[in-house]
Amino acid sequence: MTKARGGGRRGGAGDGSNPGSQLLNSQPLSAGTPPFPHPSGARPPVLPAELIPGHVAIVMDGNGRWANARGLPRTQGHEAGEASLLDVVAGSIEIGVRNVSAYAFSTENWKRSPDEVRFLMGFNRDVIRRRRDVLHEWGVRVRWMGRRPRLWLSVIRELEVAQEMTRDNTVMTLNMCVNYGGRAEIADATRRIAQLVKDGRLKPGHIDEHTIARYLDEPEMPDVDLFVRSSGEQRTSNFLLWQSAYAEMVFLDTLWPDFDRRDLWRAIEIYADRDRRYGGAVDRSTGPG
């Protein structure tokens, strides 16, 4: 039994700016500048470094319910959630989380209404464009996980520009999971491995867990330590299935637009108080006699 400890695809319309010119003018900021403080003055809890999760996965849920409760269109719920993600990234830096994966658009989200899908495509594109400069200033490395097919070219372009701009940053990594699904990721990895076997470059007997991990979207990404979902729902929704095999799950009732770094810190405190066994058992002494 071990106390919780951190672990340790990529590949439109716009505002008229040229992403390439911004990229050429950017400078690597590996160390970064401190993020803005929380308006309340809240500070992260003081925890031993070994109790800070190395990788936090977040299902940003509850935007629609937040909007419905206020008599607003669902799209306004998504818009309100943008600030929550930025605040959670700031809080992650403050407490020392090195990897955050945000579920921005799933492979199942294509089933939503055409109007909402169009909005989400443009919204994700614009969020990345609006926020990449401040993320770069903070020393955040942005990575994209997900499938290219069906994704708007303008979204792909903004994701790739953000990746290139921030590639040398080392404060933390933000994995933007856009057009991502855990089953799809495993299927894609399996397809690549099957092709290697067909080509005679890999023997079936040599395939193990490490082989599959090497062909996932981000093979260098550590496994998930803490899996957080907002809104009170208690399911994984096909997010980082392989990487979350031994993740600690924390489900919070807060709807995503109301979520901020204090909720993240609360989830981390819950995580830090748990015992991670990784499939092992704990012998509890019953005392003499």
The pLDDT of residue 285 = 54
Structural domains of the chain, ranges and CATH numbers in brackets: 48-180+223-276 (3.40.1180.10)
Q: Taking the model in full, what pTM does it have?
A: 0.86
From the CB of residue 101, how many other CB atoms can be counted at a distance below 10 Å? 26
Give the model confidence (pLDDT) of 114-127 as tens digits: 999 999 999 999 99
Task: Report strand pairing: 140-145 vs 55-59.
Answer: unpaired
From 15, 18, 25, 61, active-site residue = 61
Amino acid at 266: R
pLDDT in tens, 6-62: 444 333 333 333 333 334 334 444 567 999 999 999 999 999 999 999 999 999 999
Confidence check: pLDDT of 180 > 50: yes
109 given a catalytic annotation: yes
Q: Residue 7: what are its φ and ψ, rounded to 5°?
A: -90, 150
Q: Which residues make beta-bridge pairs with 226? A: 56, 248
Q: Is 64 in a helix, a strand, or coil?
A: helix
Active site annotation includes 169 = no
Give residue-wise pLDDT tens across range 46-83.
999 999 999 999 999 999 999 999 999 999 999 999 99
User: Count of alpha carbons within 13 Å of 154, Cβ hemisphere only?
Assistant: 17
| % pLDDT > 70, the chain | 86
Confidence (pLDDT) at 162: 98
Rounded to 5°, the CA angle 13-14-19 comes to 120
Which one of the listed residues 18, 63, 109, 253 is annotated catalytic? 109
Question: Would you tell me the crossing angle of helices 114-137 and 74-95 to the nearest 10 degrees?
Answer: 30
pLDDT value at position 279? 76
